[in-house]
Structure 1
Amino acid sequence: MSWATRIILLAIRFYQRVISPTLPPSCRFVPSCSEYAYQAVQKYGALRGSWLGLTRLLRCHPFHPGGYDPVP
C-alpha cells in the first residue's frame, strides 16, 4: 500500500471517528459515503479510489433517491 493511500485512509477514518459523530446523519446511500470512499481507496488505490469517492459525494444530495450502492 502506497503512502498516499495510507494518508487518505487515515484522513477518512479520522473523519468517521471524530467529525462525523458530531453531525446529523444525512447520507442517502448504503454504505455511507465515507465508508464507500474508504473501501474504494482500499480496493483501487489513492487516485482512482479518491475519484470514485468524490463522484459518490457529488451524487449524495436531496434530489437523488440513494439506496444500496456498493463499490464496483
Structure 2
Amino acid sequence: MEETGCMKCGHMEAGTKEIAASGTGFSKIFDVQHNHFTVVYCKNCGYAELYNTEVSGTSSVIDFFLGG
C-alpha cells in the first residue's frame, strides 16, 4: 500500500498525546474525566486528529493518520 503522509502537508512523521475530558451532567460538575482520547498530530504542520482510545490502539491510529 502506498503511504501518503499527513493529509495537509504530506509529512511522514507523526506524534501522539493522550488527553482526557469530562462529559456532561454530573461528570462535568464533579470534573470526572472518563473520556480518553489519543491525539495524533503532524510534526511538521501541527494538523491533528482525535481518536477514541476505547476503539483503537495507538499504533493503528498513527498508521491510519499517515495513510499507511
Question: TM-score normalised to the size of structure 1?
Answer: 0.26
Give the strand-richer structure, 1 or 2: 2
Question: TM-score normalised to the size of structure 2?
Answer: 0.27
Give the helix-richer structure, 1 or 2: 1
